[in-house]
Amino acid sequence: MESSPSSFGSLSSFETLAMKTHQVFFAYDRNQPNPSQDYRYCPLCGSELQATDQNGNRKCTRCGFVRYKNPFPGVTVLIEKENQVLLGKRQPSSFQGGKWCLPGGFIEYDEDFISAGRREVEEETGLRVSIESILSVMTNYLAPHLHTLVVTMLAHVDSGSAQPGDDIAELGWFPLAGPLPDMAFEADRHIIERYYATRVTGAPIDLDYAG
């Protein structure tokens, strides 16, 4: 089991370095039946799609198209400045509206994940950042219709002044040491607390794309 965050202060430095990482997060009960809506008709020929396997993949019996039901790929960015982290308060109309999160979003089809991180930060905060490392990779079972695979990166500010945009209503710098506000995603809380406790920066980033 995970150590409770409040116990970090009593750990030795060795134990702190060994702090267990978590990379799979459950925001709803996966053991309960949670029917989620899915495409019923083939997007290519309009015929009805048939369920083909237990993973939710569906095949068109007419043209052979297969609808693969996969998690959505996303990015989040931990922007650190003077032992603080930049968080955004989500617009009321968005998923988990009114709660706080790391800047981030979904990766566009032709976009590498590093560029996606920089773009999402600029859209949501007005800041230009340099990506320093890959802190972790997370699976989030957020809702029956929303499973994500998220690459979390560490970054620092290059230029710009913080201005909320896109689906972020408000921005705030919070101490890495906490307390953190009401967080939308458990993965965000974990990565901030773990980074504060361990200062492990993770895997190096591709320098051709880091700046």
As measured in angstroms, the least distance from the Cβ of 43 to Zn ion is 8
The sign of the dihedral angle between the CA atoms of 16, 3, 184, 67 is positive
Shortest CB 55 distance to Zn ion, Å: 19
DSSP three-state, residue 64 = coil
Query: How are beta strands 72-81 and 84-90 bridged, if at all?
Result: antiparallel
Q: How far is the CB of 41 from Zn ion (least distance, A)?
A: 8
Between 45 and 143, whose beta carbon lies closer to Zn ion?
45
Residue 37 contacts by C-beta under 8 Å, 6 or more apart in sequence?
145
Q: Which amino acid is at 109?
A: Y
Interface ranges with Zn ion (CB under 5 A): 42, 44-45, 47, 60, 62-63, 65
User: For residues 64 and 175, which CB has a smaller minimum distance to Zn ion in the complex?
Assistant: 64
- CB of residue 64 to Zn ion, shortest distance in Å: 7
- When the beta carbons of 7 and 50 are compared against Zn ion, the nearer one is 50
Q: Which is nearer to Zn ion, 42 or 151 (CB)?
A: 42
